[in-house]
Structure 1
Amino acid sequence: MGLRLHPVAPRQGWLWITRAFALWRQRPLALVGLFVFFLVSLLLLALLVPGLGGAIGLGGLPLLTLGFMIASRSLLDGGPVHALQLIEGLRVPDRSRRRAQWTLCAGYMLGAMLVISLADWADGGQFEALQRALAENQPGGKGAAQVNAILADPRLAWGMLVRLGLTVLLSVPYWYAPALVHWAGQSAGQALFSSTLALWRSRGAFLVYSIGWMALMTAIGTGAMLASALLGAGQLLGVLVMPLALVISTVFYVSLWFGFADSFGARPVGSATTIDA
């Protein structure tokens, strides 16, 4: 695939989202199933390799982004969506590309573990304590007071800022790196640099893209809470959260292909197929 960095207009950031939703509507169950398969694989890995499974799972995130780009490109070209696309980057005959993908996975795992460690240090373990308290909390019990005390601790807010900021910094070079290794044959280092450069040159589009996702998630969350309140069914919110989270996460990963295609001029195999919302 001949790839070349292209300028991207800011308005394209919103189109990446709308086109992702339009593509998801073509095969919703297959695409959500792909994401669920990855989550289940992580869970099994954590159970089979206690202590290390979670860290190894973090290293699989670059393969997840590439797998969804491959699946989205295949779907645009009228092809299938299947689980093996998640590891297609490791199944190519070119040994140098496989080695570069493994390097990206290892680097992301180490980077993510560093982010978690620094964030835990910054908040003094309050984020982990909050997760435990929420899991154990019983309505009207003393757990509610514990949750409120943790939320009032300023270290939690500081830790969340550190966690968010470092995650964004780690994500930038990895945004397109697996795809650039897979389709352009770049080395791991070159792909990380090219991805960073692409996001910088398309920063207007990515700003619109980020604002669009935040607005959508806020609107969906508010709508779910209002529906739960109007129907007087507090449990409805819990029922809605999981499927909504799966759909939003899936569509987010689908949208990565459209950003990559606009930034590097990539197109589906058979034609210059596009999809409009």
Structure 2
Amino acid sequence: MVVRTLPARAGLTWLTDALRLYRQQPFAFTSLVILYTITVSLLAYLPLIGLPLAAVLIPFGTVGLTLAGRDAERGTMPMPMLMAEPFRNPKQRKALARLGFVNASLVLVLVLLVSFLAADELANWKVVDGEVDRASAGQNFPWDAIFAAAIAYVPILMLTWFAPQLVAWHDQPVGKALFFSFFTCWRNRWPFLVLAAALFALSFGVIFVVTQSLQVFGASPQLASMLFAPVALILVSVGYATQYPIYRSLIETAP
């Protein structure tokens, strides 16, 4: 397996490829993202086991969404059953489950870190009539803990970005897949930084245009909230659509 190292401008190519794939199959991509996010969100709300269980399923979702990009590029509509594809092969299912448990462990460590760093601020939040007082929460928001969590999440993201595909399609052991994923991301850190900046600029620009347009037409806050939901969903879908162009350009075409 050959891992490529690309120049920084590849980040823009990934985004333009993702936009092209999304434009070819907007309904299918959005539907898959809705299915994936709702499933993970509902699982995360389960008491005690919810968050770890959701983290276990993330590698399966990553493989499914990468396959969606592959199908879109081939001119085929990505179907919802793609999300079940990683569960079909028993060997693949077990390997992805092991990777999912590693991912869940890393997420748990991150949650414990945030809880520890945010303990003092959260202790100052007041509860009034069974609800958190917004004023006290705003005055004692754990910004330091959130910033530390964001920094700590970067290496976790690097470890797990390509690991699902490497485990599922290249039969790599979990440890080796995590290693390859991390160093593939590190070797291509500049394209990833450009992609992150481009996604931020795109999101900011779209939200700014929508906000200004709503103000010009005098839209009510309720209508604005209703319109922002699909806009946010489209932006998230485009973000997920980058999975396949990144994998294809750095490693090789999916099966």
Shorter-chain TM-score range: 0.7 to 0.9
Q: In the TM superposition, what are the counterparts of 1:165-204 in structure 2 within 5 Å?
A: 165-204=151-190
Structure 1 stretches of 4+ with a deviation exceeding 6 A read 127-130
Q: Are 2:94 and 1:99 aligned?
A: yes
- Cα offset for 1:24? 0.6
Q: TM-score, normalised by structure 2?
A: 0.88
CA pair 242-44 structure 1, distance change in 2 beyond 3 A: same
Letter of the structure 2 residue corresponding to residue 17 of structure 1: L
Q: Deviations over 1:121-149 (max 9, x none)?
A: 2122857998x99xx6xxxxxx8xx4344
CA pair 200-224 structure 1, distance change in 2 beyond 3 A: same
The DSSP-based 3-state class of the residue aligned with 1:60 is: helix
Letter of the structure 1 residue corresponding to residue 216 of structure 2: L
Structure 1 portions without partners, runs of 5+? 137-142, 270-277
Alignment match, 1:275: none
Q: Are 2:104 and 1:109 aligned?
A: yes
Q: Are 2:215 and 1:220 aligned?
A: no
CA pair 184-56 structure 1, distance change in 2 beyond 3 A: same
Give the Cα separation in 1 of the matches to 2:227 and 2:29.
19
Aligned equivalent of 2:5, options 4, 7, 18: 7
Structure 2 portions without partners, runs of 5+? none
- Cα offset for 1:202? 0.8
More relative contact order, 1 or 2 (CA 8 Å, 6+ apart)? 1
Q: Which moved more, 1:98-107 or 1:73-82?
A: 73-82
Alignment match, 1:124: 119
Alignment match, 1:40: 38
CA pair 12-128 structure 1, distance change in 2 beyond 3 A: farther
Q: Are 2:241 and 1:254 aligned?
A: yes
CA pair 52-218 structure 1, distance change in 2 beyond 3 A: same
Given that 1:46 and 1:54 are in contact with CA atoms closer than 8 Å, whether structure 2 keeps it comes out as yes
The DSSP-based 3-state class of the residue aligned with 2:137 is: helix
Give the Cα separation in 2 of the matches to 1:52 and 1:102.
15
Given that 1:74 and 1:268 are in contact with CA atoms closer than 8 Å, whether structure 2 keeps it comes out as no
Aligned residues: 251
CA pair 4-59 structure 1, distance change in 2 beyond 3 A: same
Q: TM-score, normalised by structure 1?
A: 0.81
Identity of aligned residues (%): 24
